[in-house]
Structure 1
Amino acid sequence: MSGQGSAGNVIAALASFFIPGLGQLLQGRFLMAVTHFVLAGLLWLIWMGWIIHLWSILDAAKFKG
């Protein structure tokens, strides 16, 4: 995937919209993917997971790789 705004990043952001961390996983960033997935899962228990969910989407969309 090229850089910020590329089609790959849009697809990654859409993937993270459905499952936090999936976009990072598609970009090959395993540790960041696990971080987003676990933090979102833990915070959804106290109804604050949407914060990590949004962070996951924005992180995938703005990645410069």
Structure 2
Amino acid sequence: MSESHYIVALREGSWQHSNRGTTSAPFKSRESAIEAAIEEARTSGDPDAAVIVQDPETSAEIVWRSRGDNQAI
């Protein structure tokens, strides 16, 4: 199983993404955090990378995977 999960979440009023203990923040919008996470995931070289958005109600949604056509879901 891949360790390249990029988690996008709203923390303390700003959007961020994290991967393997490294956090990139702040982003002004959810969309900009997702775009940055997808770009980082693409350049990681991991064929199993995924971008997951964690919403405030604690549900999670995969919005991008490196397998397939590399397009946002």
Q: Same fold (TM over 0.5)?
A: no
Structure with higher strand content: 2
TM-score normalised per structure 1: 0.34
